[in-house]
Amino acid sequence: MVHKLLPPSSVHLLGTDEMGRDVLARLLYGARTSLALAVLVVGSSVVVGIAVGLAAGYTGGWADETAMRTTDVFLAFPPLLLAILLVTVLGGGFASTVLALTVVWWPVYAVLVRGQVVSLRSRPFVEAARATGVPPLGIMRRHLLPNALGPLLVQATVDLGVVILAAAGLSFIGLGPQPPTADWGMMIASGRQYVLGGRWWVAGVPSLAIMLTALAFAVLGDGLRDASNRGR
Amino acid sequence: MIRADHLLRRAATSLIVVFGVLTLTFVLTRVLPSDPAQLIAGQRARPEQVAAIRSQLGLNRPLPEQFARYLGSLARGDLGRSFVTKRSVAEDLGIFLPATLELVLCGFALALVVGIPAGILAGVNERGAFDRVTGVAAILGAAAPVFALALLAQHVFFNQLHWLPLNGRLSAEVSLAHPVTFVTGFLLVDTALTGNWVAWRDALGHLILPALVVAVYPLAIVLRMMRNSMVDVLHQPHITVARAKGLSERAILLHHALPNAILPVLTIAGLMFAYAITGTLLVELLFRWPGVGKYVADAIVAKDFPPILAVTLVSTVIFVGVTFLMDLLRVTLDPRVTR
């Protein structure tokens, strides 16, 4: 292990870690893990949220009431605790983390979509579609969903960054993807003990990567929000 | 005016939510891939010993019956005993909950005291220099992973500057030389009540870094929301009317804009506060802060059901309580809300 904990140099641009692995190489592979995880979590949460939100908002009545009380339960459940419990139940690793975070995240989208649908439901163009005999599924798909997508897209973009933060937290306490997979949260956790000795790059580099990624999605989300507001 | 039927409806839905969370937690702990009876009995226990422990804890009963028993003891105010330490969960919470609350309350107080005025100032001077600077700061603060902030804070203030202690709630020397009398569990309060100023200073020193780290995220969110909310309200017709009436800018801000703008901010801050009770887990781990987050994380690792259920219950009740209060506040301040 001659190459371990080397500071950044022309050979290892971002230094090496405690096993002598190149931090830049781990960082790039870690990006794969983090981005794939974020896209999968947000993607499946959006799908579940759209399904629940559309059905609840359009149907109304007791179905709406049941769906909304269910989302209330998931929203009231302390999110970090729910995620840790689920990952423990599911046995850890990448797939468990995706599933656990999806369970934590979908209610946000369900509430968002339902709110949009309720405000659109009685608008003249929806009534017209209903009067001309468009079936409920067609109304949801062709008339309600496209009009509800704007705020959903903004929320989903910002959430990509938030999910990366949350997943890093989980893998920081050892519940995410398991070694030897490269993962930003895990890199920080294992590099943490070297920070106080002045070898900051092992934990510092992935910390910066997480921050910059979350920042990028937040800025993109803000831009999308401004763009969609300007259109109105 | 708050109507009784609105209150009753809210109370009923709150109860349903608490019951739902409890049921979900109960099911989740019961499907954990492990056998607490085996864990308690130890690796070398004979099968009949494990079976004895299982029936003693009631773990061999059907799930609905176990849940009914749990709810029954809960109704009597009994949170149960830890499977592992055999200690009363209520007593444990009496120790760990104040530690977390002290940390989270200080962090959120800081976030609100700085975030709200800064947000107002930024919103009033929309697109000004202060607005731009705080805007960038807020977006950075919301994107920073909390554990990286904790590591950075420790590196700078302990490692480099030697200003503040690395971790813990109190130095070992201080707790030996000036022992703290337990009154409320809040160290700053207890030491002040008993006039133990040496320990008070030490406790404050230990609190500063973790409280700062806890404050960053809510501060960023509160600042940004307050700013956006202020900008929205200031563009509304009733503000133009107030200006046309010749009211002073000060009166417009304090009486017409602020009451409308601050409500959503307080609501979000309340929800973040409730989440933070267990959400500060990472900060607690990194600063060796003996709080609820660390308590429940240990319980999950040990498959120790009663503490997991109790912490979830406490956290959910705080969440539901906060939403209830915020709803009341909204109805009191905004008559349009009541249907």
CA-to-CA distance for A73 and A52, rounded, in angstroms?
A: 14
**Region A79-83 average pLDDT:** 90
Picking from B17, B143, B155, the nearest residue to A215 by CB comes out as: B143
A144's CB contacts (< 8 A; 6+ apart) are A54, A57, A58, A116, A117, A120, A121, A126
Average pLDDT, chain B: 87
| pLDDT class of B339 with cuts at 50, 70, 90 | very low
List, for residues B27-45, the tens digit of each pLDDT value. Answer: 888 877 667 777 777 777 7
Tell me the DSSP string of B31-94: TSSS-HHHHHH-TT--HHHHHHHHHHTTTTS-HHHHHHHHHHHHHTT---B-TTT--BHHHHHH
Bigger pLDDT: B39 vs A231: B39
**pLDDT over 70 (residue B69):** yes
CA-to-CA distance for A8 and A201, rounded, in angstroms?
A: 8
Picking from A161, A169, A222, the nearest residue to B282 by CB comes out as: A169
Picking from A76, A207, A212, the nearest residue to B21 by CB comes out as: A76
Min Cα distance A60 → chain B (Å) is 17
**Helix ranges (DSSP H) in A122-200:** 124-131, 136-138, 145-172, 184-195
Determine the residue of chain B that is closest to A195 in CA distance. Answer: B155
Provide the 8-state DSSP code for B336.
T
**pLDDT over 50 (residue A211):** yes
Domains of chain A, by residue range, sit at: 23-230
Stretch 233-292 of chain B: residues touching chain A, C-beta under 8 Å:
274-275, 277-279, 281-282, 285
List b or e across B255-294, with b for residues whose CB sees 16 or more CB atoms inside 10 angstroms: ebbbebbbbbbbbbbbbbbbbbbbbbbbbbbbbebebbbb
**pLDDT over 60 (residue B166):** yes
Is the distance from CB of B98 to CB of B109 less than 8 angstroms? no
**Region B103-124 average pLDDT:** 95
Q: What is the pLDDT of residue B70?
A: 86
Query: Which residues from A are below 8 Å from B when comparing CB atoms?
Result: 69-70, 72-73, 76-81, 84-86, 88-89, 91, 161, 165, 168-169, 172-173, 188, 192, 195-196, 198, 200, 203-204, 207, 210-212, 214-215, 218-219, 222
Of the candidates B245, B281, B270, the one whose C-alpha atom is nearest the C-alpha of residue B321 is B270
Domains of chain B: 96-302 (1.10.3720.10)
Bigger pLDDT: A50 vs A183: A50
Average pLDDT, chain A: 87
Q: What is the pLDDT of residue B36?
A: 74
Bigger pLDDT: B40 vs A134: A134
CA-to-CA distance for B336 and A118, rounded, in angstroms?
A: 18
Q: Is B148 on the interface with A (CB under 8 A)?
A: yes
A207 and B31 in contact by Cβ < 8 A?
A: no
A211 and B148 in contact by Cβ < 8 A?
A: yes
Q: How far is CA B15 from CA B8, B273, B310, in A?
A: 11, 20, 16
Percent of chain B with pLDDT over 70: 97
B33 and A89 in contact by Cβ < 8 A?
A: yes
Per CB-CB distance under 8 Å, the chain B contacts of A219 are: 139
ipTM of the complex: 0.85
**Helix ranges (DSSP H) in chain B:** 4-30, 36-41, 47-56, 63-75, 89-124, 129-143, 146-154, 172-177, 187-193, 197-234, 237-244, 249-251, 258-279, 281-286, 292-301, 305-333
A85 and B300 in contact by Cβ < 8 A?
A: yes
Q: What is the pLDDT of residue A228?
A: 78
B258's CB contacts (< 8 A; 6+ apart) are B120, B230
CA-to-CA distance for A84 and B68, rounded, in angstroms?
A: 25
**pLDDT over 60 (residue B147):** yes
List, for residues B216-256, the tens digit of each pLDDT value. Answer: 999 999 999 999 999 999 988 988 888 888 888 888 888 88
| pLDDT class of B107 with cuts at 50, 70, 90 | very high
B48's CB contacts (< 8 A; 6+ apart) are none
CATH architecture observed for domain A23-230: Orthogonal Bundle (1.10)
B29 and A85 in contact by Cβ < 8 A?
A: yes
CA-to-CA distance for B285 and B295, rounded, in angstroms?
A: 10
CA-to-CA distance for B171 and B169, rounded, in angstroms?
A: 7
